[in-house]
A = this chain, B = another copy of it.
């Protein structure tokens, strides 16, 4: 007999593939590449899950030439990876983290003080985990407004800095306010990061 439970089971099994086929589900965030090893720009990243924003952040105390302007950085992750992080405190294979830099505007419309974000994007960087593709699992790609972006060589400082200072899986979860409590609760913070925040190195005075 065709019970309601059986109907529900069949529909559940069919649902996701059929939905994908019909394009009803959200665009997915799996990384795509060109035949020459560039990464395709994930055009729907603004509909992914937002992680956080920074304002004029810099990992160097020597300044970054921002005397004449201000910048925002917005970070997004593909929804599939976000769900796994919320459940486990770790990033899965095929995680795509997008860092978008935008110019800041000051006074404008009714805004009298502080800053809001301009339409102008200054650049996009992507940190992607793809275990079968990259020997170190993760890679960085840079985009300058084009449809594809080149991989940043693994000798670049972004790799060693993320490896040395990333709170979880070489990513800067310490700057993502809704994910940091999850990593704490699930005890997935990197040992190196825990050591760093317990006994911070001598820092220069401000």
Contacts and interface: CB of A to CB of B under 8 A. Distances in A.
Interface in A58-114: 58-61, 63-64, 70, 72, 74, 76, 79, 82, 102, 104, 107-114
Interface residues of A, number: 62
Contact of A177 (B12, B117, B177, B206): B117
Tell me how many chains of this kind the complex includes.
Answer: 2
A197 B8 CA distance: 55
Nearest to A120: B177
A161 B110 contact: yes
Contacts of A111: 54, 57-59, 175
A46 interface: yes
Contact of A56 (B49, B108, B115): B115
Contacts of A47: 49, 79, 82
Contacts of A22: 8, 11-12, 15
B11 A112 contact: no
A185 interface: no
19 contacts: A15-B15, A15-B18, A26-B26, A46-B49, A46-B178, A50-B76, A52-B116, A53-B72, A53-B117, A55-B70, A56-B114, A57-B114, A57-B115, A57-B116, A59-B111, A59-B112, A60-B113, A109-B197, A111-B175
